[in-house]
Amino acid sequence: MFIVNSYALAVVLCFVTMLCWGSWGNTQKLASKNWRYELFYWDYVIGMVLFALLLAFTLGSTGSEGRPFLEDLKQASTESILWILLGGVIFNASNILLSASVSLAGMSVAFPLGVGLALVLGVINNYRVAVQQGSKTGNVVLLIIGVLLVVCAIVFNGMASARKGDGGVSGSARRKGVILALIAGVVMSFFSSFVMRAMDTANFVDPAPGKVTPYTAIVIFTFGVLISNFVFNSIVMKKPFVGTAVSYKQYFAGDFKTHLVGVLGGCIWCLGTALSYITAEKAGPAVSYALGQGAPMIAAIWGVFIWQEFKGAKKGVYGLLAAMFCFFIAGLAAIVIAGK
């Protein structure tokens, strides 16, 4: 299987993770013109599963290092599989809340608040797992500084959000979006650490018996998302956070292009997540997760400059956004140095 053999390559791939995690929301924005996010989310999950299988049977099954996908899956312990499935269920619950937040408050608000909070709490969880497994942890002081800088960026984003123009969205809807983003962030912070428990992040070439490779992990994870989606998304379809209920009949009535947009979103997210797992050995679980969760900065760029979600905002809001970007960049730089 393909294994990352240098820290420099791991960092580059972590930045690709950040781009993927911060950009998949654009597909939801595109689909939202004529497609409810609850319906979009089914295609998104299907895209995840298909892309995970593609990676497993290509990069995860070729090369001379590590265990091929099917061989690795066969020897995986029940405990490892259950940890990953739990991670998928937790992620799905949080991501549905995040998608609802995007539909209410926009990408430039939902991602920095929700994913930014997940970064802070998730780094702590992943660092604890790395210590337990004897994996690479990096410079703790610099890691803490980087996380604190990201917290400052989140605060500035919150201040900018308070001055944001209504954009045709009611104040109550935006407040609901902010609350959903915060809840999503807390829940999301746990999923990665559960998956990392099932992988031997100290040795991908010769993983411990029962532990799985990143490619097996991403396949099991996406199936955990798919299975739980029949519960979570079905509930949200009947009792949506905003608007009227939607049905499966409406989903199957969607045209091919609309479905394809959602599948593309799932593929983009899955690529980012797979790379986060693949880089965990060389970068360390905490650093690989932290760099990937720089996604709020990417999402904010899309939201501010492409979707113009702050158009008509009150005076001074762009200064706050500039401060947010500066703190995010500084925080990510500290995290990169911490991993060396």
Angle (CA) 221 223 224, round 5°: 65
> Which among 271, 125, 273, 280 is positioned nearest to 200, based on CA atoms?
280
Mean pLDDT by 10 residues, the chain (340 residues): 92 92 87 88 97 97 92 97 97 89 76 79 83 80 88 79 62 81 91 92 92 97 97 94 91 94 96 94 84 75 78 80 89 84
First to last CA, the chain: 24
- pLDDT, one tens digit per residue, over 238-261 is 999 878 999 999 999 999 999 999
Strand partners, 325: none
Angle (CA) 200 212 53, round 5°: 135
- Alpha-carbon torsion (327, 328, 330, 331), positive or negative: positive
Spatial distance between the Cα atoms of 240 and 192, rounded to a whole number of angstroms: 27
Q: Please, are residues 25 and 107 in contact by the beta-carbon 8 Å criterion?
A: yes
> Which among 182, 16, 200, 215 is positioned nearest to 114, based on CA atoms?
182
Question: What is the per-residue pLDDT for 169?
Answer: 59
Question: What is the per-residue pLDDT for 93?
Answer: 94
Question: What is the per-residue pLDDT for 79?
Answer: 97
Q: What are phi and psi of 199, to 5 degrees?
A: -105, 150
Question: What is the per-residue pLDDT for 162?
Answer: 66
Q: Please, are residues 263 and 10 in contact by the beta-carbon 8 Å criterion?
A: no
Position 3: which residue type? I
Strand partners, 212: 199
Q: Which residues contact 156 (CB under 8 A, 6 or more apart)?
A: 320, 321, 323, 324, 327
Helix extents (H) in the chain: 7-23, 25-31, 37-57, 69-75, 78-105, 107-110, 116-133, 140-162, 171-188, 191-197, 214-238, 248-252, 256-278, 280-283, 285-292, 295-301, 317-338
In a 10 Å sphere around its CB, with 0-12 CB exposed, 13-18 middle and 19+ buried, how is residue 288 labelled? buried
In this structure, the dihedral spanned by the alpha carbons of residues 217, 223, 225 and 226, taken in order and rounded to 10 degrees, is 160
Question: What is the per-residue pLDDT for 59?
Answer: 96
Dihedral class, residue 186 (left if φ above 0, else alpha if ψ from -120 to 50, else beta): alpha
Position 244: which residue type? T
Spatial distance between the Cα atoms of 252 and 227, rounded to a whole number of angstroms: 19
- Alpha-carbon torsion (183, 186, 189, 193), positive or negative: negative
- pLDDT, one tens digit per residue, over 76-88 is 999 999 999 999 9
Residue 106 tokens read as: 């926009």
Question: What is the per-residue pLDDT for 186?
Answer: 92
